[in-house]
A and B are shown apart, each in its own frame.
Chain A
Amino acid sequence: MYPHERSLVKQLAGKPFALIGVNSDGDREKIRETVKEKNITWRSFWNGPDGTQGPISTEWNVSGWPTIYVMDAEGVIRYRNVRGEAMDRALETLLAELGHEMTIQHGDEEEPGETSGGQ
């Protein structure tokens, strides 16, 4: 997962796009280290010390991880749980609505020494 996310963040730099996480690791210090180590550059809400039982995931009724929502520029939910190339196509559609026609190359940005996605 991280490699695909890194690739998206890199390709969509300068576009009206944001990747926002809701992190459900209960130990904030530990996850801060992980974020540094794995070059996770996007911002995350912290779901609190109760981890997966925290307030944000509870309100959003999340029971499987990762769970993904994609919102348009108006904040309207347009896609749920799209991943990989399906997510690339979804983002192309929503960016085109804002006048940013583009083709996202599906790809992974591996960190040195990283074997596969962390999620």
Chain B
Amino acid sequence: MRRILLLGLLVALTGCGEQKPEKKKEADESDKKTSQVTPPETKTEPQTAAQPAVTPQAKSEVAANEKVAEPAAKKAAGEKAAANKAIAAVPVKQEEDAQGKAQEAPESEAEKAPNVADIMKRFTGDRAAFMKKYRAADPADRQALVANELPQPQPYAEALLPLVKADPASDETRPALMWMLSQSQGEPKETAAKLLVAHHMDSEQLPNGLFGLTRQPPSAAIQTMLDEIIANATDEQRRLKGIASFGKAMQFYNGQRTYDALKGRVESAEKDDSDEATLAKAQAGLDDFMKQLSPDAQAYYRTGKMADGSELPDRLEEVSNEFGDVVLMERGPRKIMLGDKAKGTIFEMRNLAIGKTAPDIQGEDLDGEEFKLSDYRGKVVVLDFWGDW
């Protein structure tokens, strides 16, 4: 059980910036639902904590591989494995390229201080090297390997900090800022948020980057940034404003899983009469998560309501009423509209929460015979959304 929680935490902390968020959601959910850490080669774990699929360079490549409908993406283990290979292959290649260049370059060039791109490449390369080692390792040793050797983004983000401050407005800096915003904590994250608002409001990439942040918990740094974007967006930046408003509300919904997992860990440590160290560790995990959240988010997870007493589905509905026609993202010919996406989540929050009476389902079984979910009243019912893929 602890392993799932660790995994959930890692996923929450290392969620991606500029990527296809629907894909990520699926990954989050399978992380949550799978009872053990699974190596990235298997089909049920598109993105485990151990996977280096978190760098902008790798992501743009992966995105190309993943422009497929959800069912197809889940269907073939072979395809999944191929996508995983692509993730690993890209950074490895870059690492080799970087080494090759360094060898060819004159000495003065080689000794030059690293720029933003160099540091991003170094992270990608280090993650790729880790993955090589991970794949080669005995499966029994892999969990320890992840815990001890997986390169963490924070030191790289700290190394980026002076460089992005020195050149905040350039096109090379923007992806680094998005990456720092989604991957790091503390000063690098807060600085990235400020610099993005100050210098990149006009970037065509910013709305997509913001959509990627929808999966992250409602940290103070990102929520504040979204507030500023909403306050400062011009009429021409309506899509940006809509996605920022949507993301602001959706972060509350998406952070719930992590909160529930951490809270559950504390509760089970209390219930099981675990030793004090286990309980203290669980409590520290929950405290660390809560500490980074915006005041509104802290109130929401403690009480189920926003600080001003409003309800999350009502807030999301307001956003949907105002920005329902905003295109969240395009997947091939399919446009995903904000209103459609919000509608499902609002319905889920209002009708599918624990304690609600399940909405009835009326439909055909696999033999074409009509039946209803409510036919089974009086029985304990497990409803399993499944597919044979």
What 0/1 pattern do residues 348 to 370 of B give for CB contact below 8 A with A?
10001111111101011111000
Q: How distant is the Cα of A118 from the Cα of B75 in the complex, in angstroms?
A: 11
Q: Judging by beta carbons under 8 Å apart, are B365 and A44 in contact?
A: yes
**In the complex, are the beta carbons of A20 and B348 less than 8 A apart?**
no
User: What distance in Å separates the Cβ of A55 from its nearest Cβ neighbour in chain B?
Assistant: 8
| A residues near B377, Cβ cutoff 8 Å | 73-75
Q: CB of B112 within 8 A of chain A? A: no
A16 to B382, CA, bound (A): 12
Interface residue B333 (Cβ < 8 Å from any Cβ of A): no
Return the contact of B384 from the options A61, A68, A72, A75 (Cβ within 8 A): A68
Return the chain A residue nearest B30 by Cβ: A64
Contact (Cβ within 8 A) A73 B384:
no
Q: How far is the CB of A79 from chain B (nearest CB, A)?
A: 7
Binds A, one of B21-29, B126-134, B149-157, B191-199: B21-29
Number of A-B contacts (CB under 8 A): 185
Are A65 and B376 in contact (CB-based, < 8 A)?
Answer: no
Closest A residue to B22 by beta carbon equals: A63
A38 to B70, CA, bound (A): 24
Give every chain B residue within 8 A of A77 (Cβ-Cβ): 352-358
Q: Is the CB–CB distance between A31 and B366 below 8 Å?
A: yes
Instruction: Return chain A residues, CB-CB under 8 Å to B380.
Output: 15-18, 70-73, 91, 94-95, 98
Looking at the assembled complex, report how far the CB atom of B244 sits from the nearest CB atom of chain A, in whole angstroms: 22
Contact residues of B between 1 and 59, Cβ < 8 Å to A:
22, 25-26, 28-30, 32-33, 35, 44
A119 to B385, CA, bound (A): 11
Any A CB within 8 A of the CB of B113? no
* Chain B residues with CB under 8 A of A45: 361, 363-365, 371, 373
- A110 lies within 8 A of chain B by Cβ: no
Which A residues are CB-close (under 8 A) to B22?
A: 63
Residue of B nearest to A81 (CB): B33
**Which residue from chain A places its CB closest to the CB of B369 in the assembled complex?**
A43
Report the Cα distance A35→B322, complex, angstroms.
46
Structural contact, B378 and A16, CB atoms closer than 8 A:
yes
Residue of A nearest to B380 (CB): A94
Q: Is the CB of A44 within 8 A of B386?
A: yes
Within 8 A of B (CB), among A10-32: 15-26, 28, 31-32
Contact: A22 with B385, CB < 8 Å?
A: yes
For window 31-73 of chain A, which residues contact chain B by CB distance below 8 Å? 31-32, 34-35, 38, 43-46, 51-53, 55-73
Q: Are B356 and A76 in contact (CB under 8 A)?
A: yes
Taking a contact as CB atoms under 8 Å apart, the answer to whether A24 and B361 are in contact is no
A108 within 8 A of B: no
Q: Are B379 and A17 in contact (CB under 8 A)?
A: yes
Nearest-neighbour CB distance to chain B for A51, whole angstroms, equals 5
Interface pair A22/B70, CB less than 8 Å apart: no
Residues A63 and B26 in contact, CB atoms below 8 Å apart: yes
Which residue in chain B gives the minimum CB-CB distance to A69?
Answer: B383
Is A5 close to B, CB under 8 A?
yes
Residues of B within 8 A of A74 (CB): 357, 377
**A1, A72, A118, A119: most-surrounded residue (chain B CB, <10 A):** A119
Residues B359 and A26 in contact, CB atoms below 8 Å apart: no
Question: Cβ of B383: which chain A residues have Cβ within 8 Å of it?
Answer: 20-22, 68-71
Is there an interface contact between B388 and A34, defined as CB atoms closer than 8 Å? yes
Are B361 and A22 in touch, CB under 8 angstroms? yes
Ordered by A's residue number, 12 sampled pairs between the chains whose C-beta atoms are within 8 Å are A1-B386, A5-B384, A18-B379, A19-B384, A20-B376, A26-B71, A69-B383, A77-B353, A77-B355, A83-B33, A83-B35, A94-B380
